Every structure is written in structure tokens, then in C-alpha cells.
Amino acid sequence: MILIIAEKAIAGRRIATILAGKQLPGTNEGRATRFDFEREGKKYVIVPLSGHIVDVDFPAIYKQWLGTDLKKLVVAPIQYNETEKSISGLLKKVAPQADEVIIATDSDREGEAIGLEALRIIQSKNPTIVVKRANFSAITEKDIKDAFGFLSKLDLDLAESANSRREIDLVWGAVLTRFLSLISGRLGNEFLSSGRVQSPTLTLIVDREKQRMAFVQKKYWQLQALFEKEKTKFNALHKEGKFWDKDKAEKAVQCKEPPLGIVTGVKKKKKTIARPLPFNTTSFLRAATAIGFTASRAMQVAESLYQSGFISYPRTDNSVYPKTLDLKATLQELRKLPEFLAMADKLLKRPKLVPSSGKLAKDHPPIHPVAAVEKSKLDSQYWRIYELVCRRFMATLAEDAVTENLAIEIDLNKQPFVATGQTYLEKGWKLFYPYSKATEVLLPGLNKGDKVKLLKLDMLGKETLPPPRYSQGALIKAMSDLNLGTKSTRAEIIQKLYRRNYIEGQKAIVPTKIAFAVVNSLQKHKSVVVKPEMTANLEKEMDRVANGKKSKQEVVGESRQLLSNALLQLLESKNEIGSAIRTAARSDSIFGPCSGQGCEGELLARRGRTGKRFLGCSAYPKCTVTFPLPQKGMINILPERCEDCGNIMIKVIGKRYRYKMCIDPNCKSKENWGKKKDSKAKRQEEEKSSPSKK
């Protein structure tokens, strides 16, 4: 019997269907599932995992936060514990009957480590079993049959590289989280999370906010003219651009009389707008967040589309299609869909398909479609991501866009103005990829010496702008540039910062007061914890494990020593750091003035003896005003007051819901919360395990 290990249920079912040549019902054993079939006279059993079925953790004696010496925790032993007993039990049950095991988990570091977990469980019951590896980048019939026709070996170095990351992140996360939480008194549900990648990432966000706060706006003025020629109106700006001297701008604006301009020059220039590169994980996430997805949600959807066999593996650094990828066959597949038929035909008419190409990496191919799926069979979020991937693929095969850029110079009573226009000579890839708009600015046909009528001349007062806050896409790009985390972990790191109430805002990320307190305290004492160089160096060391140049034990040991040095430095300043965080926490917990009659206290977020959170007056016991708070979700205080009762309004943000409410449970506006209806609908959409509609 041949035992096959798949990474997740949806992938296992699809692999079983392809290899068996038919749909298989599957047999449930507790929370585990198996697929049995025969192929070419051999018996097969496929057991899907649920991702990691073994967790890394410390022995039980280190569980108590208050009684554990952090210096001892740095060097504490690490255990690998089975967490999915039904699945591990099924593996142990079928292992003795198997002659061979084929690891068919995702072909990357994490997949290799997950496969090794299952293998070690199997080998505990069958030490001599033959081990093979199936590597694939898409779960299509061709890819799966090719992978199982050319089996390789399990890459133990790659698996140990992933395990070294798990062990390092466990130790760093546990030690730093407990340190910050203990010294600030933030225990239980209010603990302060920290980590090897999380802290440098949070520092990027806080430092950007500091730049914005320190930015000194500078006033400037622009002169904007509205001209007309043969009933066609167009705008032009003064050639000076920004006037930093208001007097100079006011002097220049006198040129509006008489209201007649003369064209002194016409410049035409062709510009090529290069087609986009194939999607790697970073560019995919930037594009997905630009159309409204969070980074973590985009990855969840892409992963599910991959497991269903619709797109290729979504975790890759590659932006060069392999020569083995049949571009025409992929376009023929997209022709099956009415949304892409005309576009695919347009590309197939080209004499040769030459895709754009970027950085070549030795992992999976760029993200691309591998099978057609009808729009009606996908939930809306899954279709949007699938369509994004399909359109990006076609855009990489299309021609560059070409524009004609026009600059018309106009003399308005000895003041120079310039009108700029742009028209597309060839829209090229822009026809396939509407996420990048093809903007045109049309100007009338003008020649040197022509006269144009001035309709309006405005002197616009403006101010310079601070650097923008990070969007999720921009933050992922910054993390990638600094080698913070991996393509597989960056989206989850950002999501963790949201869950821990360090950041808020989806389109523009804003750090909270607690985030400022944590980062400022660590920066003040020059801790390596917030420096991206530290994390990047550890990433390089883990790459050396993957390449077989270093052992997991060496790299984990060196990281423990680095953490030990950092901890000693932090312990010397624990009182000062703790005080700063407690002060910020108190400031962050103030919702506003108490509504009690004659009370001058403030409403503070508190927790009762049972752990439930509520608002209570700072003047307690003199004032006993309290309001209940939702027990789940992050709470943001809104600037507006309740229209019905004048009380404080809050926004509650959960993992799969968000809603606004008044804090007063007796307010009639409570009838309009809409929590149950809105969040339930969204949750039902997002929690589906498969992209296909039921």
C-alpha cells in the first residue's frame, strides 16, 4: 500500500480525484479523513493534514508567566507536541500497512516541515518505510500526474530551516511578550505581544508616524489658468510650479489682463508605459490590498483558489515564467470564460507570446491561472482575486502601452504657462488590466503663434504634505525590502499587529498610543529588538540551514545568545520601560468625560473580576457610572457623538465584522446597531473553507 500525505483537506480531495480518475467520497475518522483507491494494481490511501499537526512549545514547567525566570526561558528546551490527535492517530493506524509514503504537501519550506512532521509520526510505527516526495506548483491534472511520475526526495535541510524559524520565533516571542506584559502589568487578555519580526515591523509604522508629526508644513502658491480655444477649454499651470513667495505669486497673477495668451511652443513626446511583471507574492498582495482586501484575507483566498486547482501556488518570490509554462494553453483555458474570451483571443492572434519578466528566484513560478472556473461558481471575493490573477497574467503577455504626451507653452502677458496633455496611441496592456487606469487629458490642436482666450486665473494656496502613512501593500513592500519575515508570514504579522491593538485603520495604518510607548521605550534603550538588521541577519542564517551550510541547532543557539544579550539590556531598564507603557495604556483607555451629573471624572476602559470589560468612572467609588462594552473586537473611539442621546460613539472591529454603536445600552439608537445582520452575512462569506459556492 502507498500512503500519500496532502497538506489540507481540499488539496487531498483534489489529488485523490486526479489520481483515482474519479470523485471519491472519503471516509471520516474523527476529525481526520482518508481517501482509498486503486491505481495500476496498487492500493493507495491519501490522508490530508490540516497544515501543521505538530506544535512547538516549552515544557509545562515554563507555562506560568509570573513564576518563570525569563533568563531561563531563553535557554529552555523545546518540545514538538502533536496537536491534531485524530489525524496523527489515523497516520499511526495506516502506517504499518504502508510500503511507501509520498509527501505531497506544498512545495516550500513550510510544506516540507509539515511533511516531515507527518513522516516522523509514520516512522514511529513503520521505521523502514520508503519515503518519496511529490513536488508541484499547481493542483491540476497535468501537474499532479507529472509530479507523481517524477518523484524526488524530501528536503530535510529545507524542513529544518522552517523548524529553526518556528523555534526562534517561539523563544523570541515568548520572552519579549512576557517581558513587556509583566513590567507593564498587562496580563490576561490585555497582554502586550512582541516578537522577532513583529517589533521591527511595528517600529517602521511608528517611525513613519513620527516623521509625519515632526513634518513642518510649508505654504506655497500655484497659478492655474483656464483657457479656451474654439470652444474647447483646458487648464494650464504657471511654469514656476510652486511659488514659495506669496508676493511673487501675487505679482505674477496680475498677468490676467488682457485675457489673451499666445502659444510660444508645442512639444510632443512619445512615452512607453511598460507592462507589469508577473505576480510574485509581494506584488500580488500590493495589488490585492489596492482593491480593498486586507493582506491576510487576500492570502487566504489565494491559498484556497490554489488548493481548488484554479491558480498556481501563491507563495513565491519569482517574477519570471518558466519556459515549461505553456502560455497558449493557459490562454485557451481562459477562453472558456465569457469574461476573458475576447481578451484571450486578442493575445492568441499575436505571432509570438513574449511575457514580461523580472527577478528570477529558485522557487515556484509566478502566480498565474491554471484552470477556468465560472464566475457563478465562486463567491464574490474569490472571483475578484481570481479575476485579478487572470488579468495580470494576460497583461504580462500584452504589448506595452504607448502615449503621446503634449506640452503647450503659453505666454500670458509675459508670464509663462504650460498645459500638459496625454493621449494613448496604443493602450496595450491597459486594455487587460483595469486596475491601472488609462487616463487621458485632451488638448485642442494648437500651433505656435495661436491665440487662446483666458477664462479664469486662480491663485491657489497650498501646503506641502507629510510622508503618507503605510498602506498594507506598501508595508509588505517595505518588509520585503528589509527582509523582515518571509513571503508566507508578512501578511499574518500585519494581522497580528491589528489583533493586538497596536495599529488601526485599513487603508492608512495608524499606530496606537501603546505602540508608541513600546517602540519609544525600546528605541530609547537602543534595543536590537526593534532593528530590522537583527531580523534580516537571522533570516540569512536560516537560509544557510536550507542550503545545508549550517545546522538548525547552531542557528537556534546563536539566536538564543543574541536574545539573551538583548534581554539583559532590557532588564536593566525595566522600571522605566514599564512606567512609560503604563502611562500610555492609561491614556489609551480614556474614552471621554464622565456623563454623571456634576462629575468631573473620566470614563476608563476596565475589566471586572470575571474578566469582562466595561467603562467605569475614574472617580469611583464617589461616582458609580458604568457602561457595558462588547466583549469581543477592537474598540475605537469615534469623534462624533450619538445623535439620539449625546453619548460616546465607538466602532467595534472584529476578525470578520465591524460596526458602530452608542455606549449607552438604553439608547434607542441601539436598535440600529446592525451587528448581527451585517457581521453574520460577512462571516458566512469569509468563513467558507472552499472558494466554490455551496
pTM of the model: 0.85
pLDDT on residue 44: 95
pLDDT on residue 669: 63
Q: Say how far apart CA 488 and CA 193 lie, in whole Å.
A: 20
Q: Say how far apart CA 662 and CA 258 lie, in whole Å.
A: 59
Crossing angle for the helix pair 472-481 and 281-290, to the nearest 10 degrees: 160
Active site residue 313: yes
Is pLDDT at 694 greater than 60 in this prediction? no
Superfamily of domain 163-214+468-583: Topoisomerase I, domain 2 (1.10.460.10)
Can you tell me the mean pLDDT for 246-271?
94
Place 682 in a pLDDT band, splitting at 50, 70 and 90. Answer: very low
Q: All 3 cell numbers of residue 636? A: 475605537
Task: Read off φ and ψ for residue 234, nearest 5 degrees.
Answer: -155, 155
Q: Which of 220, 306, 313, 382 is catalytic?
A: 313
User: Do you find a cis peptide bond into 628, omega within 30 degrees of 0?
Assistant: no
Are residues 129 and 76 in contact, defined by beta-carbon separation less than 8 angstroms?
no
Fold of 2-49+84-154: Rossmann fold (3.40.50)
Go through the chain and tell me how many residues it has: 694
Place 666 in a pLDDT band, splitting at 50, 70 and 90. Answer: confident
Crossing angle for the helix pair 552-572 and 574-588, to the nearest 10 degrees: 80
Q: Say how far apart CA 105 and CA 186 lie, in whole Å.
A: 39
Q: How many CA atoms lie within 13 A of 486 on its CB side?
A: 18
With cell 519515503, the residue in question is 131
Is pLDDT at 686 greater than 50 in this prediction? no
Higher pLDDT, 357 or 187: 357
- May I ask the CATH architecture of the domain 219-275+401-463? Distorted Sandwich (2.70)
Sequence-distant (6+) residues with CB within 8 A of 601 are 593, 594, 617, 618, 619, 620, 622, 623
Q: Say how far apart CA 279 and CA 392 lie, in whole Å.
A: 7
pLDDT on residue 81: 94
Query: pLDDT digit string (tens) for 188-198?
Result: 777 888 999 99
Place 692 in a pLDDT band, splitting at 50, 70 and 90. Answer: low
Are residues 270 and 358 in contact, defined by beta-carbon separation less than 8 angstroms?
no
Can you tell me the mean pLDDT for 72-84?
95
Query: pLDDT digit string (tens) for 625-659?
Result: 899 888 887 777 888 888 888 888 888 877 677 78
- May I ask the CATH architecture of the domain 281-397? Orthogonal Bundle (1.10)
Hey, do 2-49+84-154 and 163-214+468-583 end up sharing a CATH topology, with the first three levels equal?
no
Are residues 638 and 651 in contact, defined by beta-carbon separation less than 8 angstroms?
yes
Q: Say how far apart CA 178 and CA 581 lie, in whole Å.
A: 14
450: how many CB neighbours lie within 10 A of its CB?
17
DSSP 240-258: T--BS-HHHHHHHGGGGSS
pLDDT on residue 678: 44
**Which residue type sits at 408?**
I
pLDDT on residue 637: 81
Burial (0-12, 13-18, 19+ Cβ within 10 Å), 165: buried
Query: pLDDT digit string (tens) for 353-412?
Result: 999 998 887 778 999 999 999 999 999 999 999 999 999 999 999 999 999 999 999 999
For residue 196, give Cα distances in angstroms to 80, 473, 532.
21, 21, 9
pLDDT on residue 688: 42
Could you report how far apart the first and last alpha carbons of the chain are, in Å?
A: 34
**Average model confidence (pLDDT) across the chain:** 90
**Residue ranges per structural domain of the chain:** 2-49+84-154, 163-214+468-583, 219-275+401-463, 281-397, 591-686
Helix (H/G/I), strand (E/B), else coil: 157? helix
